[in-house]
Amino acid sequence: MSITYVVKEGVSGFRRTKLASFTSVTALVFAVLLVGLLARVGYNAYQVVHALKQSIEVEVFLLDVNQQRTNRIAADLRAYPFVTEAEYISKEEAGRIFREEFGTEGESLADLNFLPASFRLQFAPEASAAEIRNIITEIEQFQGVDEVVFNQQLLETLEERLELLVLAGAGIGLLILFTAIVLVFNTIRLTIYAKRNIIRTMKLVGATNSFIRRPFLMEGFLQGMLAAMIAAGLHWLIFELIIPFYLPQFGVLAWPFERWYYLTGIMTLLSIVMGLWGSRWAARKFISQTSIS
């Protein structure tokens, strides 16, 4: 079969069912655009949560222990896989920090040298609240450790919000994609119905279902490609012009993995796959049902 014939017949489907094709392409545009928006906003939300998680510190306050025991505690703390930093705060350093935070009102108290030495821990962003909690439980059993302070509720809240965002975004995205595929399915179905007499004739002269399906697959491919180009253009327009102009305080949201072509490529591939999937679904279902009698 000539590729020219396949493309020509695929394009002719747009002319035969103008309104249905327009609806199908529009649905694909909005589906891919919304998925792209969700992906970009979700990526930036993920980055913000990771940055906030990195700012959460765990403070390990020590009893009055000798330098040898302090060094042993430091080595044990740094040995944990998720601990990225274990900064030692001596009593003198704690007094200096106290004076900086409370000013002259805290000088008399800071001079009493009552503040304990401590370690300030930072964890890798991929460490979950449960994993950090398990590590803290072990640290609390260390000889020479007085108390461990950790804002567990804040970290758990961040994780819950991120999980909710991911689940909601995935659910909305799947619903949108399914709706777009159904619309492509209906468009190809209408095209097949409009060409039912031609299909019967082709079957009479020995054409196989696979041969007849190819132009309809091409129509789905063309719908997906056209929708991808429009969606990519609208995505760029929204994030590069509209948002910076009307909401400059938000700046320009970062592209996933700091490159524009990753998300744009995924949006294009997704649109083409949806167009092909919907057209293949309709072609396999209705062409085989077209009787030659």
What is the Cα–Cα distance from 180 to 23, expressed in whole angstroms? 9
pLDDT, averaged across the chain? 80
| Mean pLDDT, range 244-269, rounded to an integer | 79
Q: Label residue 250 by pLDDT band (50, 70, 90).
A: low
CA distance 24 to 29: 9
Instruction: Quote the pLDDT of residue 110.
Output: 44
Where residue 219 falls (left for φ over 0; alpha for ψ -120 to 50; beta otherwise) is: alpha
Structure tokens at 18: 């103008």
Inter-CA distances, 93 with 106, 123, 281, Å = 14, 22, 70
**3-class SS at 121?**
strand
Q: Does domain 57-150 have CATH number 3.30.70.3040?
A: yes
Question: How many Å apart are CA 38 and CA 19, to the nearest integer?
Answer: 28
Beta-strand relationship, 57-62 and 145-149: antiparallel
All CATH 3.30.70.3040 domain ranges in the chain, comma separated: 57-150
Distance in angstroms (rounded) separating the CA atoms of residues 180 and 277: 10
Average pLDDT over residues 135-149: 88
Q: What is residue 207's predicted lDDT score, i.e. its pLDDT?
A: 73
Residue 89 φ/ψ region, left for φ over 0, alpha for ψ in the -120 to 50 degree band, beta for the rest:
beta
pLDDT, tens digit (0-9, with 9 covering 90-100), for 63-89: 888 889 889 988 998 888 888 888 888
- Which of 163-172, 206-215, 217-226 has the lowest average pLDDT? 206-215
Using 50, 70 and 90 to split pLDDT, how confident is the model at 113?
low
The per-residue pLDDT for 101 is 66
Residues 151, 146: Cα–Cα separation, whole Å:
17
157: helix, coil or strand? helix
Structure confidence at residue 179 (pLDDT): 81
